[in-house]
Amino acid sequence: MAPSVLATAAGGQRLKVLLVASLYKLPYRVLRCAAAAGTEVYVLGDRGAHGLRLSRHCRQFFPANNVISGLYDETLAVQINCMVRDIGIAVVLPGDGPSTRALIACRDQLSAPIFPLPSLECFDRLNDKWKFTRLCGELGMRHPASRRFDDAADLVTGCDFGLPAVAKPLSLSGDQGFVLLDGTDTAERLRRINYRPIIVQEFIPGEDIGASIFARSGEVTAFIAHHYGRGIYSTFPGDTIFTDLERLTKHLRLDGCYNFDMRRTAANDIYYLECNPRFFFKIDLSMIAGVNFVALGLPGREPAASDMIRCHSRVYLPKGLAGSPAHWLAVSRKDLAMAAHLCSDPLPPLLESIGVLT
């Protein structure tokens, strides 16, 4: 991806950004998008983020003085301000969920602008699957029938819901804590629920899809609906999804980047499962498809028509190409860009693939 002409400071120097991270996998993808926007990326991370120092796109890594927990941390704010002063940081970026919430909690104490983010109230409301489900109900957005339980014992006492169903923690992302309840091996599956509270939702047959937006003052300025499987990242128009998310964004007057996980049934009905009010795991794939969500929050970046991906397209990763030999005859520029993206920083993806970086 070509560097953005917008990611420059006075005198034509590259814009210096500070990426704050508590983890490795998601922040690495954010780092790559920031670098692709033409910025010089410095990283402030705790133990879980140390793998980021191996990227050739990490200008310098600084260990955090405290664990980045997602809470207000005066020590973190002071450390960030010292780096802003000493390095000339122009923008502070969050790399994952804990760092996003921490920057929101500390933003009034920071001496440099941070990437556009929601209020703490909106973050907590969207990040909580139960609260998000209730919000969907208020806005007329289809969602699975859901119940909330205080703990596993409460779930056992009140388990009169239909099967199959899915048990999940309220605020973890992806499949963390996911337990399918289908009437088989019930005792063993209940023992795997080691978190509280618990949300239990009806299981929706269909395929997993997602959509990501960037918003300014309650207006959606970038959108992409996506599906990933077998090494192929696909986009599609998502007209109904866009209408729903536009309504939600206006309702909460959101700022920043958000990703939504959904299920799409055979009848093309969309069920909203959760919202991640932060950067998302497939953000580098969205960049190759046409929308760099990190670049959207940098100084001087104005909305563009190209930020709205409302069409069918595909990006093949090497795994996808290996499974689709016929596609070798019609490799697209996006496929070549994906290959170049992976090859330009080979060590971290290699170490991640063999489980050294997690």
Phi and psi angles of residue 84, each rounded to the nearest 5 degrees, phi first: -60, -45
pLDDT at 6: 54
Q: Is the dihedral of CA 77, 83, 85, 91 positive or negative?
A: negative
- State the Cα angle at 171 between 113 and 95, rounded to 5°: 30
Pairing verdict, β 165-169 and 179-181: antiparallel
Instruction: Specify the DSSP class assigned to residue 241.
Output: H
Distance linking the first and last C-alpha atoms of the chain: 25
The whole-number pLDDT of residue 169 equals 93
Mean pLDDT of 118-143: 97
Question: What is the per-residue pLDDT across 226-247, written as a single tens digit (0 to 9) for each?
Answer: 999 999 999 999 999 999 999 9
Buried b (16+ CB within 10 A) or exposed e, 255-272: bbbbbbbbbbeeeeebbb
CB 43 within 8 A of CB 51: no
- 16 has which bridge partners? 40
Share of the chain above pLDDT 70, in %: 96
For the stretch 326-343, pLDDT in tens is: 888 788 999 999 999 999
The pLDDT of residue 1 is 39
What single DSSP character describes residue 4?
A: P
DSSP output for 232-271:
EEEEE--HHHHHHHHHHHHHHT--EEEEEEEEE-TT--EE
User: Residue 3 above 60 pLDDT?
Assistant: no
* pLDDT of res. 346: 94
Give the Å distances, CA to CA, from 171 to 202, 243, 251.
18, 25, 22
Residue 176: pLDDT band (50, 70, 90) is confident
For residues 296 and 214, is the Cβ–Cβ distance under 8 A? yes
Instruction: Please determine, for residue 2, whether its predicted confidence score (pLDDT) is greater than 50.
Output: no
- Decide if 326 contacts 31 (C-beta within 8 A): no
**What pLDDT, on the 0 to 100 scale, is given for residue 267?**
97
pLDDT of residue 240: 97
Average pLDDT of the chain is 93
Confidence of residue 11 (pLDDT cuts 50, 70, 90): low
For the segment 212-230, what is each residue's pLDDT rounded down to a tens digit?
Answer: 999 999 999 999 999 999 9
pLDDT in tens, 265-300: 999 999 999 999 999 999 999 999 999 999 999 998
**Residue 49 burial (CB count, 10 A):** 28
Backbone angles phi, psi at 87, to 5 degrees: -100, -25
Q: Report pLDDT for 171.
A: 86
Stated as kind and residue range, the H or E segment containing 333 is helix 333-343
pLDDT (0 to 100) of residue 166: 92
Per-residue pLDDT at 350:
93
Give yes or no for residue 8 having a pLDDT over 80.
no
Tell me phi and psi for residue 326, to 5 degrees: -65, -25
Q: What is the Cα–Cα distance from 35 to 286, expressed in whole angstroms?
A: 15
pLDDT of 157 above 50: yes
Over residues 317-326, the mean pLDDT reads 86
